[in-house]
């Protein structure tokens, strides 16, 4: 459900109002020190929202060990950015956020990366009727600079589908439920089975896939049905249309909003689309995001690339 920007700007238009909300989400009525866990704290002098621990003598704020830590951006702008980001089901570019908030491009980009980290969900498992499929992310086939006498097929690099050099991503979706995705460099049976064991409650679940060779013999671990796409795309309830629809949603969103994404940061963007899909029926998505984000640790610590060579842009089809 959409987040109402007018309500957010009206209810959280000051730093103090935003701080009180975050403190209530994280601590409730009793402030606890994130360093030692003690509730023997007091308000620190000189800075709004700063607390001091009487036991370990360290100072802290509600931002400690969250995506808000060390931020210089005011919380009202943070809250507006969150609302805009949650409403952008197909994605929100840093340039778009820059125009909306009046910040620099660097601030908007870094802010969006932090928000994606705030979308990391706790480990929950899928069950019921499940669909599993893989997809490939990368540039469209390009004509290589070869002589005219070379056949056209030989000039096309980075082919589509299985056997490509693109980035492979596996996904499992629960019908009328949630989805889980993961970048898997090698789509072997062992790697796919490991994903299933980590993401699925095997009892009382049915897994539906196509006839890719790495899905063979999964019935030893979970009830398994396969659909032969060379003959039909569905046979009653046996189909993978749900997960294929999710891949279409992700790729159209990336193509429309981001144009190109680096290989290194693809997992961050997958987190974003996974969140949007899993919260598509959430009537209080803004509060759900804050509750989730307040308990995220410093996953973003090493997100920056060490050199330009590490960021190879790939266009998504």
Looking at 254, 271, 288, the residue that finishes a domain is 271
DSSP annotation string for 131-145:
EEEEEEESPPPEE--
- Specify the pTM: 0.84
CA distances from 208 to 152, 220, 222 (A): 37, 14, 10
Q: Would you state the pLDDT for residue 162?
A: 64
Looking at 231, 247, 271, the residue that finishes a domain is 271
Of residues 220, 150, 212, the one with CA closest to residue 187:
212
Q: Name residues of the chain where pLDDT drops below 70.
A: 1-2, 140-164, 296-317
Residue 82 φ then ψ, to 5°: -60, -45
List of residues 6+ apart from 127 with CB closer than 8 A: 174, 200, 201, 203, 204, 205
Q: Would you state the pLDDT for residue 146?
A: 58
- The model's pLDDT over 204-215, given as tens digits with 9 standing for 90+, comes to 899 999 888 888
Residue 31 CB-half CA count within 13 A: 23
Q: Is residue 149 part of a domain?
A: yes
Q: Would you state the pLDDT for residue 160?
A: 62
**Helix (H/G/I), strand (E/B), else coil: 183:** strand
Tell me the C-alpha distance between 233 and 244, whole Å: 11
Number of structural domains in the chain: 2
Q: Do 14 and 88 fall into the same domain?
A: yes
Given a contact cutoff of 8 angstroms between Cβ atoms, the answer to whether 303 and 265 are in contact is yes
Q: Would you state the pLDDT for residue 296?
A: 59
Q: Would you state the pLDDT for residue 165?
A: 74
Q: Would you state the pLDDT for residue 310?
A: 37
Q: Do 7 and 81 fall into the same domain?
A: yes
Q: Would you state the pLDDT for residue 70?
A: 87
Q: Residue 173 sits in which domain range?
A: 129-271
Q: Do 134 and 203 fall into the same domain?
A: yes
Rg, C-alpha atoms of the chain? 23
Q: Would you state the pLDDT for residue 264?
A: 84
């Amino acid at each position: 459900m959409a987040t109402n920007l007018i309500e957010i700007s009206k209810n959280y238009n000051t730093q103090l109002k935003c701080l009180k909300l975050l403190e209530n989400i994280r601590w409730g009525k009793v402030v606890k020190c994130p360093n030692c866990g003690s509730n023997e704290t007091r308000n620190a002098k000189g800075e709004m929202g700063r607390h001091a621990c009487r036991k370990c003598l360290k100072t802290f704020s509600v931002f400690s060990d969250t995506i808000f830590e060390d931020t210089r951006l005011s919380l009202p702008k943070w809250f507006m950015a969150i609302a805009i980001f949650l409403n952008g089901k197909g994605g929100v570019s840093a340039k778009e956020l820059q125009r909306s908030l009046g910040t620099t491009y660097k601030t908007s980009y870094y802010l969006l990366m932090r928000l994606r980290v705030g979308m990391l969900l706790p480990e929950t498992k899928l069950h019921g009727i499940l669909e599993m499929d893989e997809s490939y992310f990368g540039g469209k086939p390009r004509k290589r600079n070869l002589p005219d006498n070379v056949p056209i097929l030989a000039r096309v690099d980075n082919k589509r589908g299985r056997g490509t050099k693109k980035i492979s991503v596996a996904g499992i979706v629960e019908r009328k439920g949630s989805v889980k995705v993961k970048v898997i460099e090698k789509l072997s049976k062992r790697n796919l089975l490991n994903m299933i064991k980590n993401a699925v409650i095997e009892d009382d679940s049915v897994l539906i896939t196509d006839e890719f060779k790495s899905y063979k013999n999964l019935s030893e671990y979970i009830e398994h049905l396969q659909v032969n796409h060379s003959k039909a795309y569905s046979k009653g309830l046996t189909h993978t249309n749900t997960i294929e629809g999710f891949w279409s949603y992700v790729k159209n969103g990336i193509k429309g909003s981001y144009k190109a994404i680096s290989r290194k940061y693809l997992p961050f963007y997958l987190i974003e689309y996974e969140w949007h899909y899993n919260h598509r029926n959430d009537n209080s998505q803004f509060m759900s995001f804050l509750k989730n984000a307040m308990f995220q640790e410093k996953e973003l610590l090493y997100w920056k690339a060490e050199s330009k060579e590490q960021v190879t842009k790939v266009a998504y089809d």
